[in-house]
A and B are shown apart, each in its own frame.
Chain A
Amino acid sequence: MFQLDSVTKVYPNKVVALSGVSLTIRRGEFVFLVGPSGAGKSTLVKLLYREELPTRGNILFEGRSITRLRRSQVPYLRRRVGVVFQDCKLLPHKTAEANVAFALEVTGAGAREIRRRVPAVLELVGLADKARAYPHELSGGEQQRVALARAIVNNPAVVIADEPTGNLDPQTAWEIVGLLEEINRRGRTVIMATHAKAIVNAMNRRVVALSRGRIYRDDASGVYDDGYL
């Protein structure tokens, strides 16, 4: 699904966020991306939906180069890749429902399809009763659920979540991870960047550990270990 070939990312301020990262993520996998703050997790994630371009190296998505994608093709990549952003990125003046519908509208979906799919995904993330609420009327966990609903409403091939449990209590965090697991069970690839040690350890899934912009460990069924700190 994703193939990274010696990818290096240097930001304009000369910070080397990733250096020589090679990584393959297969269809249907559930991958944790772990590592201390500043390790480059968000940077790696941003490269996958082309918010950022790598400085060196190449990235393939479904066999095609993201790096060499024409500008006009970028929207179509982003519709195949559902993203839950570290800061949610919900629109404050739109209801939960409208925030989700928005992602469908931009793809040119019809009114009927929007009326059918939006309630369905809100139901899936357990927010059917809060459809009309505005983001500021929702708890952090509920906002993450809206963001998750928006990420999957386009039926993407892969869902990428950047610290979706960042500020949540363990109970709520588990609920979000449970949803991601459900999404993964339905056949979608899931990539989740996280600091939540307990969750990583309990899930027993593939763990890619980053440290100072390099892959430090890549275990098929790994645990969160602090050895690299």
Chain B
Amino acid sequence: MATFRSLWRGFGEALSGVVSNSVMSVASISTVALTLLVLAGFLLAAVNLSHVAGVIESQIQLRVYLDANAAEEDVRQLEAQIAGQPGVVGYRYVSKEEALERLRGYLGEDQDLLEGVEELNPLPASFEISVLRPDLVERVAYELQGRPGVDKVSYSAEVVRRLLEVTNVLRLGGMTLALLLTGVTVFLIANTIRITVFARREEIAIMKLVGATDWYIRWPFLLEGVLLGLAGAAVAALAIAFTYRWLLDMFYDRLPFLPLVTPQPLLQKLSLVLLGLGALVGVVGSQISVRRLLQV
């Protein structure tokens, strides 16, 4: 029978458990925080990479770089061929001057990088081509490859594929590392709570003899575990929020064109995930430590 009173009792005992073995508690909270930070870091990196990939995919799908010495006639013919390709929904000619202008825009305050390059302008002119569906990109690229006046065809599908590959590796690596760290975390929480359990074993034995249910005994330890887990998750959530905003600021300054994911609502969702995971780790850790105790 879980009355309000016994729920309340759990909070007091859980808190006193956390406070009375503070060294172990701090150690557990720190490992929870560290684990979740690693997980969150990898998640944020993966989310941003797949976002970047998505943006690139939707922005432009194909670019045909023109040979520096391409004849005007070749360029005109090429344009006609591009327009005639099935699946091409739009294209645009980007002149050498426009390419330089764009680069200037990207560089923002770092214009000095262009000094001396400007007169030469090594940037090639190109056609930007949008295709109806991503899966048509490769065929169009194949068609245009090697035509007169074409230096090289690059299509974002390849970039996107690479980015997604990196994203997957990041996800997998992050998950594996987080899983390992989760093991350590659960172990530490279980040991922290075992100290409380040990200090109160006599009381627990008597509780059982006078008719306490398993749940009545378990509840305060469960709460202690959840408190440790949530505290660690809160630390991780705060740390990741500050770090992410700081990183975004840095990227906006240096690479303003990089389409990174805005902090909200991403961080809000991430915090909820972290708190949920923290609580879960706390529950598992505490249940491991009381299970043995209840086998009487």
Q: Is A75's CB under 8 angstroms from B9's CB?
A: no
Whole-angstrom distance from the CB of B203 to the nearest CB of chain A?
A: 6
A139-175 toward B: CB 8 Å interface, digit per residue (1/0)?
0000000000010001000000000000000000000
Q: Is B3's CB under 8 angstroms from A106's CB?
A: no
Q: Is B202's CB under 8 angstroms from A79's CB?
A: no
Who on chain A is nearest to B210 by CB?
Answer: A103
For the A-B complex, the count of residue pairs with Cβ-Cβ distances under 8 Å equals: 55
State in angstroms the CA–CA spacing of A51 and B211 once bound together: 11
The interface-forming segment of B124-132, B212-220, B264-272 is B212-220
Who on chain B is nearest to A83 by CB?
Answer: B209
Q: Is B209's CB under 8 angstroms from A89's CB?
A: yes
> A65 interface residue, CB < 8 Å from B?
no
Q: Is B206's CB under 8 angstroms from A107's CB?
A: no
Q: Is A108's CB under 8 angstroms from B211's CB?
A: no
Say which residue of A79, A85, A110, A150 sits within 8 Å of B3 (CB atoms).
A110
> B113 interface residue, CB < 8 Å from A?
no
B61-100 toward A: CB 8 Å interface, digit per residue (1/0)?
0000000000000000000000000000000000000000
Interface size class of B (residues with CB under 8 A): 10 to 19
| Contact status of A89 and B206, CB under 8 A, knowing A108-B3, A110-B5 | yes
Who on chain B is nearest to A77 by CB?
Answer: B211
Q: Is B202's CB under 8 angstroms from A106's CB?
A: no
State in angstroms the CA–CA spacing of A108 and B207 once bound together: 12
State in angstroms the CA–CA spacing of A107 and B207 once bound together: 10
> A78 interface residue, CB < 8 Å from B?
yes
State in angstroms the CA–CA spacing of A111 and B9 once bound together: 12
State in angstroms the CA–CA spacing of A98 and B209 once bound together: 16
Whole-angstrom distance from the CB of B218 to the nearest CB of chain A?
A: 12
Whole-angstrom distance from the CB of B224 to the nearest CB of chain A?
A: 18
| Contact status of A108 and B2, CB under 8 A, knowing A72-B214, A75-B211 | yes
Q: Among A71, A75, A85, which residue has the most Cβ atoms of chain B within 10 A?
A: A75
Who on chain A is nearest to B207 by CB?
Answer: A106
Q: Which A27-85 residues have a C-beta within 8 angstroms of B?
A: 49, 51, 71-72, 75-79, 83, 85
Whole-angstrom distance from the CB of A200 to the nearest CB of chain B?
A: 26
Number of residues from A at the complex interface, CB < 8 A: 23
State in angstroms the CA–CA spacing of A32 and B213 once bound together: 30
> A138 interface residue, CB < 8 Å from B?
no
Q: Which residues of B contact A133 (CB under 8 A)?
A: none
Q: Which residues of B contact A89 (CB under 8 A)?
A: 206, 209
Whole-angstrom distance from the CB of A173 to the nearest CB of chain B?
A: 24
Q: Is A106's CB under 8 angstroms from B214's CB?
A: no
| Contact status of A78 and B206, CB under 8 A, knowing A108-B1, A108-B6, A110-B5 | no
Whole-angstrom distance from the CB of B90 to the nearest CB of chain A?
A: 70
Q: Which residues of B contact A107 (CB under 8 A)?
A: 1, 211-212
List the interface of chain A (C-beta within 8 A of B): 49, 51, 71-72, 75-79, 83, 85, 89, 91, 102-103, 105-108, 110-111, 150, 154
Could you name 27 residue pairs across A and B whose Cβ atoms are closer than 8 Å? Answer: A51-B209, A71-B214, A72-B213, A75-B212, A75-B213, A78-B211, A79-B211, A85-B209, A91-B202, A91-B203, A91-B206, A102-B206, A102-B207, A105-B5, A106-B207, A106-B210, A106-B212, A106-B213, A106-B216, A107-B1, A108-B2, A108-B3, A108-B5, A108-B6, A110-B3, A110-B5, A154-B210
